[in-house]
């Protein structure tokens, strides 16, 4: 909180010496020990810590994998198999890294939807939210380039399809694609630059995460009531031990889900095609991106025009950054917004269904009557795309004007103690 | 609040797992392979050593003339979690292969008997030679083939698979393919050099039924003593043994992975339990805590 004063008291001579010169222990104490958090946070607020853990896990496993990987079209696939077979615990490192990407996205989607439900993007947290959108974009770029590195069939063809999107830009599109590829097709130069960027971007993510956490600790956490902290003593608890132990418990539970996939189902979240070495002459029957890109891929394919599809896909992500101003409601938390709740859940379902359309062939029939196709996958995706954007540009602006919200508790403490009394 | 949280959980569970449909390698009019029973499935699954040894025999005597095993070294055959050959057996086996080496002091390449550290020699010197010998199709390498083949599970099976840990699409497909050769149905023309197989995507496969080398058209073994451990020599058995061997070749650390997994999961479970009660204890200090 802005008005939160440091409670750190250096106890030893060394601590006092350091504190007078570089107050780094004070900084750590203030942000991880005495930092006040609303006492009514539920378990959806543990995903920030889980995401931090995932980022570190990805960086650590990635650094070791790089020691054994060869970024060359002739050796990349073989070097990944070398990691799986000959490197001590190489299989564990690779499966952790590959499944870790999926776990990272599961956590980030929960984190984003939590923010959307409880209105965490509203004043004074607009910059905090926008930094989050930037992290999300960087994550997508990193994950995409990482998937190219094993140089399997899906790596190669995924890279071809996605980089080709830029050719939709008028006039300069084709030169841009050639520039991205470093040649006239996806080839060794492409693999090399993707490798370089895949190593760079996580550290950029880390940088933006620092800003994200800084902004968070400046404005303080939102909470399920959406009511700001009024009395630090009554409404909050110190981060340590309260939030620390809760975050740790949630993190260990999340690690069990992670472990389930790593140890028992390591290839479930990947594609079998990526165990076939890349072959520029053989296109796979279906080119499908990783699951976490599917809703956006669904939007891309919903628009018949190539440029239109690319614009819609990027707009679907970019529009998140405008959420603080599209939502006109004065009430933050969806808990007190009965009509908003309905639209929110429709939006969640629409996002899931968009993912489904992205995973299916475009000509697949969704609805047929008497042998005549009424709705195919593209048509279905078009309806869902309209609904996706309507949530942002129609539902959210209008709901704030017409919806009658329920009474909001006077303070966080009131809400917690009221609940406790009601339970008795 | 409580209800909202529960809804959120359910929705996220759905969302996180949406559209995880596997790629449709075995789509295109092909039948779904029937599920087999595998010793290596499930959280405590291990390979059946005798089965892997039989499968290796099938690979060596039937498949290896066209299909390579380029990621596998002879030494892998005696490593823990594998077919369990002794180091002596592996040495003898490797020596039966001719491996190209060199250049020697005079600058010439030469052939020498294989050593355990050598990889399995490729059946063809290059892809062009493989094509020329196989009517234009390159027989795929077998090192990771068991993980590179699958078929679409469809909704809701893929979702259920998360909990049942079903992931043997590859081996199931291999068994089905080897048993899927049939006379083409009426109205289907199979071009010269292709063969009808009801499990192959598109149904027309360049490879002729390879198991005729072991089992004749009436289902009788050409050599009843093909297996020396008394296992009956049937087409299904031979196909299953080969598929198990290929699964090991693709995932040689499967046993190590599952063993470590059990320890890690148990440890995490204990830690989660301790943390849960610690959390309860700490939060109970607050008035009106929940």
Predicted complex ipTM: 0.93
Q: What is the pLDDT of residue B6?
A: 54
| Cβ <8 Å between A263 and B257 | yes
pLDDT in tens, B252-265: 999 999 999 999 99
Task: Please name the member of B5, B250, B288 whose beta carbon is closest to the beta carbon of A42.
Answer: B5
Instruction: Identify whether residues B248 and B286 lie together within a single domain.
Output: no
Q: Does the structure show a pLDDT above 60 at B19?
A: no
Region label for A271, one of left (φ > 0), alpha (ψ between -120 and 50) or beta (otherwise) = beta
A148 SS3 class: helix
Verify that B159 and B66 share a domain, yes or no. Answer: yes
Looking at the fold, whether B266 and B213 belong to one and the same domain comes out as no
Beta bridge partners of B111: B100
Q: Residue B38 pLDDT more than 60?
A: yes
Write the CA distances from A206 to A53, A203, A248, B184, B201, integer angstroms.
12, 5, 20, 59, 45
Q: Which residues of A touch B1 (CB under 8 A)?
A: 42, 224, 335, 419
Q: Kindly report, residue by residue over B166-192, the tens digit of the pLDDT.
A: 999 999 999 999 999 999 999 999 999
- Assess whether B129 and B154 both reside in one domain: yes
What are the angstrom distances between the C-alpha of A121 and each of A75, A133, A257?
A: 46, 11, 28
> How distant is the Cα of B85 from the closest Cα of chain A, in angstroms?
18
Average the pLDDT over B146-151 and give the result. Answer: 96
Provide the pLDDT for residue A2: 45
The DSSP H or E segment spanning A409 is none
Residues B50 and B163 in one domain: yes
How many Cα atoms occupy the beta-carbon half-sphere of B191 within 13 Å? 6
**Chain B nearest-CA residue for A223:** B1
Q: CB contacts < 8 Å between A and B, how many?
A: 181
Binned at pLDDT 50, 70 and 90, residue B155 comes out as confident
Cβ-defined contact of B23 to A286 (cutoff 8 Å)? yes
List the structure tokens of B233: 């020599």
Residue A347: list chain B partners with CB under 8 A: none
Q: Do B257 and B161 fall into the same domain?
A: no
**Angstrom distance (rounded) from CA A16 to CA A34:** 18
For residue B13, pLDDT beyond 80: no
In angstroms, the CA A390 to CA A394 distance is 5
- HSE-CB for A417 with a 13 A CA cutoff: 10
Please say whether the dihedral angle defined by the alpha carbons of residues A321, A324, A328 and A332, taken in this order, is positive or negative.
positive
CA distance A198 to A147: 10
Q: Has residue B151 been placed in a domain?
A: yes
Per-domain boundaries in chain A = 1-34, 42-289
The pLDDT of residue A416 is 87
DSSP character at residue B75: G
Q: Nearest Cα to B59, choosing from B278, B233, B214?
A: B214
Tens of pLDDT, residue by residue, chain A (424 residues): 444 578 899 999 999 999 999 999 999 999 999 999 999 999 999 999 999 999 999 999 999 999 999 999 999 999 999 999 999 999 999 999 999 999 999 999 999 999 999 999 999 999 999 999 999 999 999 999 999 999 999 999 999 999 999 999 999 999 999 999 999 999 999 999 999 999 999 999 999 999 999 999 999 999 999 999 999 999 999 999 999 999 999 999 999 999 999 999 999 999 999 999 999 999 998 899 999 999 999 999 999 999 999 999 999 999 999 999 999 999 999 999 999 999 999 999 999 999 999 999 988 899 988 888 889 999 999 999 999 999 999 999 999 999 999 999 999 999 988 776 666 5
Classify the phi-psi angles of A263: left when phi > 0, otherwise alpha if psi is within -120 to 50, otherwise beta: alpha
CATH class as words, domain A42-289: mainly alpha
Q: B237 and B257: one domain?
A: no
Give the range of the structural domain holding residue B136, as residue numbers without chain letter: 17-72+119-252
Q: Does residue B165 lie in a domain region?
A: yes
The number of distinct structural domains making up chain B is 2
Q: How many residues does chain A have?
A: 424
Which residues are A277's β-sheet partners?
A152
Structure token digits, residue B95: 């020596």
**Do B57 and B29 share a structural domain?**
yes
Please name every residue paired with A238 in a beta bridge, in sequence order, or none if there are none.
Answer: A36
- Judgement on whether residues B189 and B267 belong to the same structural domain of the protein: no
Helices B235-250, B169-178: crossing angle, 10 deg rounding: 150
Task: Report the alpha-carbon distance of residue A85 to residue B81 in Å, rounded.
Answer: 12
B32 and B167 fall within a common domain: yes
Q: What is the mean pLDDT of residues B184-209?
A: 94
User: Is B113 within the bounds of a domain?
Assistant: no
* Residues of chain B found within 8 Å of residue A224, distances taken between Cβ atoms: 1
Backbone angles phi, psi at A278, to 5 degrees: -55, 135
pLDDT confidence of residue A362: 87
Does residue B161 share a domain with residue B29? yes
Q: What is the pLDDT of residue B24?
A: 35
In a domain, B258, yes or no: yes
Closest residue by Cα to residue B119 from B60, B65, B77, B73? B73
Give yes or no: residues B49 and B155 share one domain: yes
Across the interface, do B268 and A352 touch by the CB < 8 Å criterion? no
Measured between alpha carbons, how far is B55 from B61 in angstroms, rounded to an integer? Answer: 10
% residues pLDDT > 90 (chain B): 83
């996002």: which residue's tokens?
A: A351
d(Cα B101, Cα B111) in Å, to the nearest integer? 6
Nearest to A261 by CA among B263, B14, B43, B81: B43
Q: How far is A36 from chain B (nearest CA, A)?
A: 14
Q: What is the mean pLDDT of chain B?
A: 90
- B181 within domain boundaries: yes
Smallest CA-to-CA distance from A410 within A317, A336, A329 is with A336
Instruction: Give a yes or no: residue B98 inside a domain.
Output: no
Partners of A419 on chain B (C-beta within 8 Å) are: 1, 288, 290
């Amino acid at each position: 909180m802005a008005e939160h004063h440091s409670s750190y008291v250096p106890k030893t001579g060394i601590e006092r010496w350091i504190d007078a010169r570089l107050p780094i222990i004070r900084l750590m104490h203030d942000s991880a020990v005495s930092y006040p958090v609303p006492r009514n946070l539920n378990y959806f607020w543990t995903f920030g810590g889980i995401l931090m853990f995932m980022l570190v896990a990805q960086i650590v496993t990635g650094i070791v994998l790089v020691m054994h990987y060869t970024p060359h079209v002739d050796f990349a696939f073989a070097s990944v198999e070398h990691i799986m077979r000959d490197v001590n615990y190489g299989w564990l490192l690779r499966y952790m890294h590959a499944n870790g990407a999926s776990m990272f996205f599961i956590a980030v989607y929960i984190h984003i939807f939590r923010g959307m439900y409880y209105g965490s993007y509203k004043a004074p947290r607009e910059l905090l939210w926008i930094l989050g959108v930037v992290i999300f974009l960087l994550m997508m770029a990193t994950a995409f380039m990482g998937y190219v590195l094993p140089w399997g069939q899906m790596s190669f063809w995924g890279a071809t399809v996605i980089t080709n999107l830029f050719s939709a830009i008028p006039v300069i599109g084709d030169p841009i694609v050639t520039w991205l590829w470093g040649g006239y097709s996806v080839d060794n130069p492409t693999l090399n630059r993707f490798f370089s960027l895949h190593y760079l971007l996580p550290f950029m993510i880390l940088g933006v995460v620092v800003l994200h956490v800084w902004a968070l600790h400046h404005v303080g956490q939102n909470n399920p009531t959406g009511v700001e902290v009024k009395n630090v003593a009554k409404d909050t608890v110190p981060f340590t031990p309260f939030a620390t132990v809760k975050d740790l418990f949630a993190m260990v539970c999340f690690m069990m889900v992670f472990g389930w996939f790593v140890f028992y189902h390591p290839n479930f979240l990947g594609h079998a095609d990526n165990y076939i070495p890349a072959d520029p002459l053989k296109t796979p029957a279906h080119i499908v991106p990783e699951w976490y890109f599917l809703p956006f891929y669904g939007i891309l394919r919903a628009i018949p025009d190539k440029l239109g599809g690319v614009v819609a896909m990027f707009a679907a992500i970019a529009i998140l950054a405008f959420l603080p101003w599209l939502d006109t409601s004065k009430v933050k938390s969806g808990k007190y917004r009965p009509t908003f709740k309905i639209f929110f859940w429709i939006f969640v379902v629409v996002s899931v269904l968009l993912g489904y359309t992205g995973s299916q062939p475009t000509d697949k029939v969704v609805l047929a009557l008497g042998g005549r196709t009424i709705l195919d996958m593209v048509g279905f995706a078009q309806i869902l795309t309209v609904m996706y954007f309507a949530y942002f540009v129609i539902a959210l602006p209008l709901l704030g004007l017409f919806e009658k919200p329920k009474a909001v508790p006077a303070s966080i403490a009131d809400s917690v103690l009221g609940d406790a009394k009601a339970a008795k | 609040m409580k209800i909202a949280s529960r809804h959120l959980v359910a929705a996220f569970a759905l969302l996180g797992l949406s559209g995880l449909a596997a790629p449709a390698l075995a789509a295109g009019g092909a039948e779904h392979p029937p599920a087999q029973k595998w010793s290596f499935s499930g959280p405590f699954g291990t390979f059946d050593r005798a089965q892997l040894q039989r499968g290796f025999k099938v690979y060596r005597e039937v498949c290896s003339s066209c299909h390579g095993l380029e990621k596998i070294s002879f030494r892998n055959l005696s490593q823990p979690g594998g077919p369990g050959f002794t180091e002596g057996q592996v040495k003898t086996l490797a020596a039966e292969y001719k491996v190209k080496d060199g250049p020697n002091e005079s600058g010439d390449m030469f052939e020498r008997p294989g050593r355990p550290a050598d990889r399995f020699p490729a059946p063809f010197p290059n892809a062009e030679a493989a094509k020329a010998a196989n009517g234009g199709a390159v027989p795929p390498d077998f090192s990771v083939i068991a993980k590179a083949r699958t078929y679409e599970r469809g909704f809701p099976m893929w979702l259920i698979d998360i909990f049942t840990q079903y992931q043997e699409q590859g081996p199931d497909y291999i068994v089905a393919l080897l048993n899927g050769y049939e006379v083409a149905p009426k109205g289907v023309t199979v071009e010269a050099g292709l063969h009808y197989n009801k499990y192959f995507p598109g149904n027309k496969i360049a490879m002729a039924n390879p198991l005729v080398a072991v089992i004749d058209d009436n289902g009788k073994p050409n050599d009843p003593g093909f297996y020396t451990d008394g296992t009956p020599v049937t087409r299904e058995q031979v196909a299953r043994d080969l598929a198990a061997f290929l699964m090991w070749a693709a995932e040689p650390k499967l046993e190590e992975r599952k063993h470590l997994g059990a320890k890690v999961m148990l440890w995490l479970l204990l830690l989660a339990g301790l943390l849960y009660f610690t959390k309860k204890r700490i939060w109970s200090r607050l008035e009106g805590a929940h």
